[in-house]
A = this chain, B = another copy of it.
Amino acid sequence: MPPSNESAPASPPLKIARATLHDRIVERLHDMLIEGELAPGERLNEVALAARLEVSRTPLREALRVLASQRLVTLSPHHGAFVTRMTRAEIDDAFELMSALERFSAELACERVTESEIAAIRAEHAEMMAYWARRDLPRYYRANQRIHDLINRAARNDELRETYLALNRRLHPLRLSSNRSAAKWQKAVEEHEAMLAALERRDAAELGELMRRHLLEKRDAVLEGWSHEDR
């Protein structure tokens, strides 16, 4: 036995572990939040939710703690869990941070993207344009998300991607209040054209700046719709 082995701490096994119940509950609640099945500000009663999901309170509570640490739900001791309702300042900050993540993702992607990845992005872009021509907003939105995720993957930084996705999940409920005017949508489409061109030229500074500004405009569009909807 080598002496170094004595102080070597145990490590987690690498094998695929099948999901536990509370992990699946986290997934399920994620979906329910994304689908809007649970509205911002809504109270989450533990026994009612547990009954609805057909689980006991224990794994549900563990899941709620996890979602709370991701700020998707807000816990108030002895009062209960609520679907997080972001304030104006939080939305502002979140989009601002998102603009930085997008810029950085764009810069890294320009350095690291492969030809086949660009081809995939180009294809997805074409599909998105088709949805735009048909004014199919839901599908346009999903194609849009896929493009951003492809760029994120091309950046080859899992930490960045995880952070991006986590923030994106939090902002997801706000997506409905943007792109409602045809003019804004038109502008967003043009920006995407420019972004694709910059990526093909691998112009990091240009693409980074385009994506940063794109996000800030999205923020403005969201805040515009937000001000006369909630709060």
Residues of chain A having any CB pair with chain B under 8 Å: 8-13, 17-20, 22-23, 39-43, 58, 61-63, 65-66, 68-70, 74, 76-80, 82-83, 85, 89-90, 93-94, 96-97, 100-101, 103-104, 108, 157-160, 163, 167
Q: Do A78 and B17 have beta carbons less than 8 Å apart?
A: yes
Q: Do A12 and B100 have beta carbons less than 8 Å apart?
A: no
- Closest CB in chain B relative to A46 CB, distance in Å: 13
Copies in the complex: 2
- Of B10, B108, B157, which is within 8 A of A82 by CB? B10
Q: Do B167 and A9 have beta carbons less than 8 Å apart?
A: no
Can you name 17 A-B residue pairings with CB atoms under 8 Å? Answer: A8-B41, A9-B39, A9-B40, A9-B42, A9-B43, A9-B82, A10-B42, A12-B79, A22-B65, A23-B77, A62-B65, A63-B65, A90-B159, A96-B157, A97-B104, A100-B100, A100-B104
List the B side residues contacting A39 at CB < 8 Å: 9
- Alpha-carbon distance between A61 and B83 when the two chains are bound, in angstroms: 22
